Structure 1
Amino acid sequence: MSPLSDLSTGFRLSSRARFGWLAGGSLLLLALATFLAAQFSGRQPSTVALDIGLSVIRLLLPLLLILMTQEMLSREFERRYFLNTLSYPNTRHSLLLGRFMAVAILTLGLLVVLAVALALLVWLIGHGYAQSTPVALDVHYCVTILFVGLDLLLLTAVATLLAVVASTPSFVLIGTFGFMLVARSFGAIVELLTRNAMLVGDGETYRSGVALLSYLLPDLGALDVRMITLYGRMELLPADWPWLVLSSLTYTTGLLAVAVWALQRKRFA
């Protein structure tokens, strides 16, 4: 069987994980956070609302993709559903890739829905007060959302690998969130210590140690390019953005390859 067959199975399993309720809750939380954030800025309500909205999206969607991965892969092994799944003329790699594609499509599809809803909310908020520096909800916003999607795609690959090698579903949650926090923050820490090495004792050594993570982890913090849409200036896009995109896609492919290899060698009790 091809991964497309497991893709349709993954979509059916998403209903068991209550994806519809999670998506609706995410949309409601995004709307509340956006409107409330706009009330805390009398001069730049649209900018603050968009900033907070993007932060909510970048926090909620990783949690959702982790829950979907737990249901589609971790529960498969924990509850021994694989005994039924693999009894059909099906290969392990098609099972893994099919479920990965299902999680990715659901997550990225919800990203598009939330992005459209956020743009509409910010547009409505902007109608109530004309800012001196309006936000850019055009191609700048689309580029920002594309980079968020790349971030989520890589995190989906991380969760998939952890679902294969982890012994408990809870480790998928802890491991993926831990990876996300480190990968999104180490670049900012290195930049901060470069500008002011006196923040910590022996700052240069500390900075060099943290900088070593750049050889092991992708810089997910650099994929947060919201400044180009908050201020409408495309020149705020990192100069090395092609390398960021290429390295993230390569890292995602590598993680999936390792996950397939690990599943092929996995021995089921």
Structure 2
Amino acid sequence: MLVLALVALSAAQFSGHQPATVAMDMGLSVIRLLLPTVLILMTQELLSREFERRYFLNTLSYPHPRHSLLLGRFMAVALLTLGLLLLLAGMLALLVWLIGQGYAQGTPVALGFHYLITIAFIGLDLLLLTAVATLLSVIASTPSFVLIGTFGFMLIARSFSAVLDLLTSNATVVSDADGYRSGVGLLSYMLPDLGALDVRAITLYARIDLLPADWPWLVLSNLTYTVGLLALAVWALQRKRFA
């Protein structure tokens, strides 16, 4: 919370005309970077280290199915992460509102329904990343792989659509733009587009029309991907052999 407050208040000083907008933009960036780190660390402690330190010898001795252990830990991490998201989102909204009191912008930041939609999409992003971390915790041999793998997945899933847009609008970025675009485009068939879940523009500019036109499909596809990852994690745990 201290990091978020320092970044938001500091960023507001760099813009004389849009301090609230800049503070909101930087604050949302901090939330989207900070909370994945928190959920990965929690998943490491609740699941990955369960197997590394052989706590499962005690946990699995109780008459409960394996999938209840996995889904229970997933729900615990997801609820804690989403709760922290709501707390940080409320704090950011308060900071932006206070900053806006000192200077009346021509285009004020939308802290109502637009902001709730933005936070909901961030929550969906975090839910999917929690499912990724859960799966990696089951199949990975070391806890560090959970950190590296989840962050790697996040960076690729959040950036490949932006790379495609850049290559489409400016083919001179690389020498073989068509071939490069075709290669990167294959990721859209294998990974969810987490970059499209960043809909902060509707809050920054108070324009709901900036929401992606295919947002229902975007939400459905990411939820489906999350359920698929959890099903795969349950399947892997059911077949996991403990030495």
Q: Is the TM value for this pair above 0.5? A: yes
**Which residue in 1 is equivalent to 2:97?**
123
Structure 1 position 210 matched with structure 2 position 160 = no
In the alignment of these two chains, the number of paired residues is 243
**Which residue in 2 is equivalent to 1:65?**
39
1:104 deviates by 0.1
- TM-score, reference length from structure 2: 1.00
SS at match of 1:238: coil
Structure 1 position 227 matched with structure 2 position 163 = no
- Which of these residues, 77, 86, 94, is aligned with residue 103 of structure 1? 77
* Structure 2 unmatched ranges of 5 or more: none
Q: Distance in 2 between matches of 1:66 and 1:57?
A: 14
SS at match of 2:157: helix
**Which residue in 2 is equivalent to 1:147?**
121
Q: Deviations over 1:44-65 (max 9, x none)?
A: 0000000000000000000000
Structure 1 position 246 matched with structure 2 position 228 = no
**Which residue in 1 is equivalent to 2:7?**
33
| Worse overlay, 227-236 or 190-199 | 190-199
**Which residue in 2 is equivalent to 1:175?**
149
Structure 1 segments, 4+ long, off by >4 Å, are none
Structure 1 position 113 matched with structure 2 position 87 = yes
- TM-score, reference length from structure 1: 0.90
Q: Which amino acid aligns with 1:140?
A: H
Q: Distance in 2 between matches of 1:49 and 1:259?
A: 38
**Which residue in 2 is equivalent to 1:161?**
135
Identical pairs, percent: 79
Q: Which amino acid aligns with 1:128?
A: G
* Structure 1 unmatched ranges of 5 or more: 1-26
Q: Distance in 1 between matches of 2:80 and 2:117?
A: 20
Structure 1 position 50 matched with structure 2 position 24 = yes
**Which residue in 2 is equivalent to 1:18?**
none
1:29 deviates by 0.6
Q: Which amino acid aligns with 1:245?
A: V
Q: Distance in 1 between matches of 2:65 and 2:57?
A: 12
